[in-house]
Amino acid sequence: MTADEAQRLVARCLVDPDYLDAARSEFPSGSGRAGSSDDDISVRLRLFRGFIMRIKHTQLRRIVPLTLRLLAMHAADIAFFAEAAPGYLRARQEGPLPIQELLTRFERALAQRLQVVEPGARAEIEAVLRHEGRIWRTPRGANGPGATAHPRLVPGASVEVYGFDVLGFCAALARDPFTLPDARTATQALLYCPDGSATRIVEIDGLSAWVLSRLDGAASLAALDVALSQGLGLKTGDAVVDIVADAIARGFAECATLATAA
């Protein structure tokens, strides 16, 4: 194979989502050790395509920089982008993807890839991706209808519960020079709320997380109180009312008729 032929082969692999698998028999033998995966040039081409795909997803560094850094620290980024490349190339055949679609496709492809990743690394990557996704989406979901008769979180707000201290983990991950931080085992609940064009993040306790995550504008305070009492098997007193009233006072939730919401 001449240098020009090799260049054309590589170029086609980078634009045609199906060529790399369909034309594998056309590739010359590799120069690696016999019997090793390096001996198959298609493997090296696949990884090279993954490297190029990682570069093409530069826009995501504005949204999920720590997720991408964590993937690299676990040496999983090139393999992930190599696997995701065909779907990305097919989707992009009609033109550049909107950033929202690019992020959604990235999340979907990464969730699939993480099924074969070591459990500890998988839990860390899933949590950081979920956290960064919430930060980006929260202010973009801030527009919505007016307050409802029953309490609900303000448009764009949401609650997430993590299996470790994701805030501390992300803070350590963002430092330079960086090393892979330890993920604490303590559960952490976070409330994400729009704050202009930014996202306000508030750490809340488990009980508040349970209540606030169920504020959808459909359930009354009385219904939430019954569900909480049955779930815990004890009387909760005014806990639900107090949590909701505090959330409304702080601008996290809203209710058109709080006095009669129960």
Instruction: For tokens 């620290």, name the residue.
Output: 73
Q: What is the pLDDT of residues 177-233, one digit of tens each?
A: 767 767 666 899 999 999 999 999 999 999 999 999 999 988 888 888 888 888 766
Instruction: Decide if pLDDT at 81 tops 70.
Output: yes
Cα separation, 109 vs 84, in Å, equals 6
How sure is the predictor about 134, in pLDDT bands with cuts at 50, 70 and 90? very high
Average pLDDT over residues 21-45: 58
Whether 5 maps to a domain, the answer reads yes
**Residue 187 domain-assigned?**
no
pLDDT > 80? residue 148: no
Instruction: Write out the DSSP string of the chain.
Output: --HHHHHHHHHHHHH-TTHHHHTGGGSPB-SS-TTSGGGBHHHHHHHHHHHHHHHHTGGGGGT-HHHHHHHHHTT-HHHHHHHHHHHHHHHGGGSPPPHHHHHHHHHHHHHHHGGGS-HHHHHHHHHHHHHHHHHHHGGGG-------SS-EEPTT-EEEEESS-HHHHHHHHTSSS--------S-EEEEEEEETTEEEEEEE-HHHHHHHTT-BSSS-HHHHHHHHHHHHTS--TTHHHHHHHHHHHTTSEE-TTGGG--
Per the domain annotation, does 97 fall within a domain? yes
List CB contacts of 135: < 8 A, sequence separation 6 or more. Answer: 192, 199, 201
Range of the domain at 1: 1-141
Query: What span, in angstroms and rounded, lies between the C-alpha atoms of 110 and 262?
Result: 42
Name the residue among 44, 50, 4, 3 with its Cα closest to residue 24. 44
Residue 23 pLDDT grade (very low, low, confident, very high; cuts 50, 70, 90): low
For the ranges 27-36, 98-107, 176-185, the maximum mean pLDDT occurs at 98-107
Q: Specify whether the CB–CB gap between 122 and 114 falls below 8 A.
A: yes
Whether residue 35 is contained in a domain is answered as: yes
In a domain, 69, yes or no: yes
Residue with tokens 């028999």: 25
Residue 212 lies in a domain: no
Distance CA 124, CA 126 (A): 6
Lowest mean pLDDT among 154-158, 221-225, 234-238: 234-238
Pairing type for strands 198-204 and 188-195 reads antiparallel
Is 76 within the bounds of a domain?
Answer: yes
**pTM confidence score:** 0.81
Number of domains in the chain: 1
Q: Which residue has the tokens 């590739």?
A: 27
Residue 251 contacts residue 147 (beta carbons within 8 Å): no
- Whether 49 is in a domain gets the answer yes
